[in-house]
């Protein structure tokens, strides 16, 4: 029974979320938490690793790391001394489709940090010595990753799942491509793709939204880059031709990591919500859903075993992952396949459906407990072009989803003959 009511006004909506777009095509979103002495911010520019040129995999990621190694106004030491001496942080990273920046500061320092953020994004110096340092650090990371069963299983999954699609490549790139990246490559990348067009910044914390929007406008409106290019559109993902299996041998490891997956719906569509409820039953609810019950609770095969429904503007995966003793790998695969088969053979029970609907509703205010949680939600609204009242409308959407809807969607996305099974650990 779906009797739980959510106090709609307690959730962020069109009357409490501030959103403003500016002539230079930046967007600012804010939600107040006026008791907080701090401000958390997060945003993105729509350029990521899919724009890495051929043979330069890892360029977007390295660029993100290089942005904070110095600007035209401040060298590395000066920059980080300013940021850290006020107890603030600014972090940058690149995903497949975007370069993400985030951080936090005391509210008294927000203006200073916002100015530095623009400086970092718009005026990088790309010092050669820091490029060499970061390339060496990445070389170490690649060597460590090669012995990391979780990372190796994940990369094997992406190789098999995406094949010719740009997402097949790790966002960090490869050791042999990262070492060829030069400051000229970075400058060209920055020149082509960095500018205000498509920049989104969301904030939450102890600042008045309109005052912070005014501050954002004052600082960011000066950024004009008429020649800024738009990232090219992604090619379509090609369906799996058959069941694909890859195991990466990693010697001397006590545990093997396993990922089994299929395609997920794109964006936060209504079908995504249907699959999200189904996924919750499959591998999340309680102690990791049906998968956790079968693999961990009943069989004791794994410490973790659950499922994840990724969300993105491009193709993304619906995955089941487990960490198991190498001797139990085949048994864990069998148990998981049994559960997938059950998931597409019969509708979920009414009590399971009721459970996950109640959970989804109850979790709405809890997911917004922190400034960071609120900001992530604001960015989702923008990224997936959702109504500002999305959360307030969600209960009605959830209420309308039936067990048959979940079965129909489960069958659309899970095909026992077209799965990727990737693992890493002791040689098979």
Pick from 41, 181, 57, 176: nearest CA to 121 = 41
- Do residues 13 and 392 make contact, with C-beta atoms less than 8 angstroms apart? yes
Q: Is 366 in the site for another protein (CB under 8 A)?
A: yes
Strands (E), 277-412: 302-309, 316-324
Find the shortest distance in angstroms from Cβ 406 to another protein.
Answer: 17
Shortest Cβ 263–another protein spacing (Å)? 27
For residue 293, the 8-state DSSP code is I
Kindly tell me which of 47 and 329 has the beta carbon lying closer to another protein.
329
Q: Using CB under 8 A, which of 3, 23, 54, 77 touches another protein?
A: 77
Instruction: Using CB under 8 A, pick the residue from 293, 310, 389, 415 that binds another protein.
Output: 293
**Only segment of 9-17, 166-174, 338-346, 402-410 that touches another protein (CB under 8 A):** 9-17
Integer Rg of the chain from CA: 23
Question: Are the C-beta atoms of 388 and 14 separated by less than 8 Å?
Answer: yes
Secondary structure of 3-50 in HEC code, one letter for each residue: CCCCCHHHCCCCCCCEEEECCCCCEEEEEECCCCCEEEEEEEECCCHH
Three-class secondary structure of residue 427 per DSSP:
coil
* Bridge-based pairing state of the strands 89-94 and 38-45: unpaired
Phi then psi for residue 11, to 5 deg, are -95, 150
Question: 228, 199 in Cβ contact below 8 A?
Answer: no
Query: What size, in residues, is the chain?
Result: 428
| 111 vs 192 by CB, closer to another protein | 111
Measured from the CB atom, is 66 or 364 closer to another protein? 364
The answer to whether residues 18 and 31 touch, using CB atoms and an 8 Å cutoff, is yes
| Contact between 91 and another protein per CB under 8 A | yes
324 in contact with another protein (CB under 8 A): yes
Q: Does 34 bind another protein (CB under 8 A)?
A: yes
Q: 264 with 311: CB under 8 angstroms?
A: yes
Based on CB atoms, which residue is closest to another protein, 47 or 295?
Answer: 295
Measured from the CB of residue 191, what is the shortest distance to another protein in angstroms?
A: 26
Q: How far is the CB of 371 from another protein (least distance, A)?
A: 6
Select the residue interacting with another protein from 27, 28, 40, 116 (CB under 8 A): 40
Considering the complex, state which of residue 240 and residue 302 has its C-beta at the smaller distance from another protein. Answer: 302
Give the one residue of 3, 23, 35, 417 binding another protein; rule: CB under 8 A. Answer: 35
The correct pick among 53, 55, 87, 235 for binding another protein (CB under 8 A) is: 87
Rule CB under 8 A: say whether 249 interacts with another protein: no
Interface with another protein includes 309 (CB under 8 A)? no
Q: Which two tokens stand for residue 426?
A: 């002791």
Among 20, 22, 86, 115, binds another protein (CB under 8 A): 86
Q: Which of residues 367-426 bind another protein (CB under 8 A)?
A: 368-372
Q: Is 255 near another protein (CB under 8 A)? A: yes
Judged by CB under 8 A, which of 224, 254, 345, 400 binds another protein? 254
Residue with tokens 């370069």: 99
Q: Does residue 139 bind another protein (CB under 8 A)?
A: yes
Identify the DSSP state of 201: E
Dist. CA 428–CA 332, nearest whole Å: 14
Binders of another protein among residues 149 to 208 (CB under 8 A) are 149
Counting contacts by CB under 8 A, is residue 53 touching another protein?
A: no
Alpha carbon 134 to chain centroid distance? 23
> Going residue by residue from 197 to 236, which x/- string records binding to another protein, judged by CB under 8 A?
------------xx--------------------------
How far is residue 308's CA from residue 282's CA, in Å, rounded to a whole number?
Answer: 9
């Amino acid at each position: 029974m779906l009797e739980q009511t959510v106090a709609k006004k307690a959730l962020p909506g069109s009357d409490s979320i501030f959103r403003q777009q500016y002539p230079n095509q930046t967007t600012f979103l804010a939600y107040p938490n006026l008791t907080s002495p701090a401000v958390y911010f997060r945003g993105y520019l729509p350029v990521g690793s899919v724009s890495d040129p051929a043979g330069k995999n890892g360029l977007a990621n390295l660029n993100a790391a290089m942005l904070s190694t110095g600007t035209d106004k401040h060298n590395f030491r000066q920059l980080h001394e300013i940021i850290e001496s006020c107890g603030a942080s600014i972090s940058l990273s690149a995903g497949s489709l975007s370069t993400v920046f985030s951080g936090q500061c005391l509210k008294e320092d927000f203006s200073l940090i916002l100015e530095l953020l623009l400086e970092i994004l718009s005026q990088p110096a790309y010092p050669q010595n820091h490029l060499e340092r970061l390339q060496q650090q990445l070389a170490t990371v690649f060597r460590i990753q090669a012995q990391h069963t979780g990372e190796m299983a994940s990369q094997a999954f992406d190789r098999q799942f995406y094949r010719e699609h740009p997402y097949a490549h790790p966002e960090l790139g490869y050791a042999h491509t990262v070492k060829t990246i030069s400051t000229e490559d970075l400058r060209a990348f920055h020149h082509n793709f960095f500018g205000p067009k498509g920049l989104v910044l969301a904030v939450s914390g102890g600042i008045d939204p309109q005052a912070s929007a005014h501050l954002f406008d004052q600082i960011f409106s000066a950024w004009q880059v008429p020649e800024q290019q738009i990232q090219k559109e992604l090619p379509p993902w090609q369906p799996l031709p058959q069941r694909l299996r890859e195991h990466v041998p990693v010697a001397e490891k006590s545990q093997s990591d396993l990922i089994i997956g299929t395609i997920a719906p794109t964006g936060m569509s209504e079908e995504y919500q249907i699959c999200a409820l189904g996924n919750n039953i499959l591998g999340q609810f309680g102690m990791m859903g049906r998968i956790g019950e079968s693999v961990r609770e009943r069989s004791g095969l794994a410490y973790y075993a659950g499922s994840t429904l990724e969300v993105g503007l491009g193709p993304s995966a619906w995955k089941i992952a487990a960490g198991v003793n190498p001797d139990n790998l085949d048994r864990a695969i069998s148990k998981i396949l049994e559960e997938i088969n059950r998931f597409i053979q019969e509708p979920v029970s009414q009590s399971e459906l009721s459970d996950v609907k109640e959970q989804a509703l109850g979790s709405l205010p809890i997911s917004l407990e922190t400034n960071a949680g609120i900001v992530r939600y604001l960015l989702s609204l923008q990224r997936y072009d959702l109504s500002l009242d999305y959360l307030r409308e969600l209960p009605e959407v959830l209420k309308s989803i039936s067990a048959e809807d979940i079965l129909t969607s489960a069958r659309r996305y899970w095909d026992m003959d077209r799965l990727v099974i990737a693992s890493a650990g002791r040689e098979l």
